[in-house]
Amino acid sequence: MNANYGFQATMTAKPGQGSELVNLLMTGLQDGNPASTDYCLVYLVCRSATNPDVVHLTEGWTSEEDHHRLFAGDAAQAMVAKFADLLDGESVYTDYTPVSGKLVP
């Protein structure tokens, strides 16, 4: 299966809350959450090497429609609602169309 839609989000947690933000994002991989489905092909959570409160999320999906459909579900919306308590400002999103690369299972 190919990733035909993707995006990267850069989020800044409130001071000292980077670990909580990472933990919240990792719940996206739990059963019933969007990233646990076969439609999500890439779900990578990273922290800045210089600022532990800056977190990067990269996702790759089978299609933009699949992403939006699953993101509108209850599980994803419950996770998003928790971001408000952790984020310091607006997240920066960049969408893209994956071309090629490497993913090792």
What's the pLDDT tens digit per position in 41-94? 999 999 999 999 999 999 999 999 999 999 899 988 998 899 889 999 999 999
Is residue 101 included in any domain, yes or no? Answer: no
* Residue 103 covered by a domain: no
pLDDT band at 105 (very low <50, low <70, confident <90, very high): low
Domain count, the chain: 1
Is the predicted pLDDT of residue 103 greater than 80, yes or no?
no
Task: Identify the CATH number of the domain in which residue 36 sits.
Answer: 3.30.70.100
Question: What is this structure's pTM?
Answer: 0.90
pLDDT value at 97 more than 80: yes
Residue 25 belongs to some domain of the structure: yes
pLDDT band at 100; cut points 50, 70, 90 = confident
Q: Are 12 and 89 in contact (CB under 8 A)?
A: yes
